[in-house]
Chains A and B, each alone.
Chain A
Amino acid sequence: MSEKNSAWPLWEVFVRSSRGLSHVHAGSLHAPDKDMALRNARDLYTRRNEGVSLWIVSSNDIVASDPDAKGQFFESPQGKDYRHATYYTKSEGVKHL
């Protein structure tokens, strides 16, 4: 593989399955431009009848959280039971809840 080849940028692929409501991240691929990325995604990720719609996003355009910042970012909600409906007891006389 020459250096020229490795310059193909990276793209993220999202596939919506035939009855799925939302697109799900399926993986990534290399392609020279967005139009070829869409075709490559069709060739790589829908070979077994998996999808009816594709979204392609340049990997550079993804803003990602820092894997090393889990503590400050994601551990705060732990222990805060009151943010879940199950924390609350049902008031007397309330039907259909």
Chain B
Amino acid sequence: MSTQKTDHSLDSFGDSSASATRVTPGNALRPEDIAIQKAVPSEANAQYALRLGDDALILAQRLSHWISRGPELEEDIALGNIALDQLGHARSFLSYAALAWDKTEDDLAYFREEEEFTALHIVQQPNGHFGVTIMRQLIVSIFQHLLYTELLKSSDETIAAICAKAVKEVDYHRDHAIQWTLRLGLGTEESAEKMRHAMEILWPYVDEMFKDEPLYDELGDAGVRPSTLRAAWDEEINAVLADAELEIPKTGSAMSFGRQGQPSEHMGFILAEMQVLARKHPGATW
């Protein structure tokens, strides 16, 4: 292994006949780098990173169910990419949070119990049909994009750095969701009906995303109060839904307290599948 040559040669640069699928990983911030960094988060900042990580992790787990089940090969890969992006964000946030408790990202992902997770209920909602997944993506990706954009100014440098990488990716998730919302909303009567159905299922979980917790009093400039994002979120999603000729349903708000360790009824099943391998073979590697 030690003699293996790393291909940083310039041979293929500027060569129009070079492979269009040449592999170079780039040099973005990786979870592996965070896991060995010296800066350890305060308890409050770790709790905050845990929340951001849990949302991304559970959404990634949900989205990855689409792999091999997408409506088309191309869309299958698009959703798989988005799942992997979210998994990457989860790994970074959890790796950072774990430093505060002398744990690893795997300890937090695989060896916490249901009530120790802090994910919002919206990301726990089942994929349903394609329209439900797209509507969930629209709701969450607009939220994450606004949140990560604000967190670029976080006083916690690691959180800001993770968001600097993640914000570009959720910007694409947002675009992907908007494109499909427009096409399904304006498509056929059936596709529009399915989108209306999706909104009725999901809208009760919207309010929870914008609830502030006592934690924010301790976070100071490290975090962003979600309540401050509501107006911008409303404006952005209303514009998309108006273009897609979809109306927000008049549903009530669900009693959801995911941040307080009260997961939805789906969480046990999500975790059972996500954690079974790691728990059956603790410490196993490839």
Contact = CB atoms under 8 A, between A and B. Distances in A.
Interface of A: 5, 8, 14-15, 17-22, 24-26, 29-33, 35-36, 39-40, 42-45, 47-51
B74 A19 contact: no
A49 B26 contact: yes
Given A20-B14, A43-B81, A51 B20 contact: yes
Contacts of B73: 30
A24 B16 contact: yes
Nearest to B176: A39
Most B CB contacts (10 A, CB to CB) among A8, A17, A31 go to: A17
B24 interface: yes
Contact of B20 (A5, A29, A43, A45): A45
Interface of B: 12-26, 71-75, 77-78, 81, 172, 175-176, 179, 183
Nearest to A14: B20
Contacts of B72: 5, 8, 30
11 contacts: A15-B20, A17-B13, A18-B13, A20-B16, A26-B20, A39-B179, A40-B77, A43-B77, A45-B21, A48-B23, A50-B21
Contacts of B25: 48-49
A19 B13 contact: yes
Contacts of B179: 35-36, 39
Contacts of B12: 17
Nearest to B76: A43
A45 B24 CA distance: 13
A20 B74 CA distance: 25
Contacts of A20: 13-16, 18
A79 B110 CA distance: 69
B20 A17 contact: yes
Contacts of B15: 20
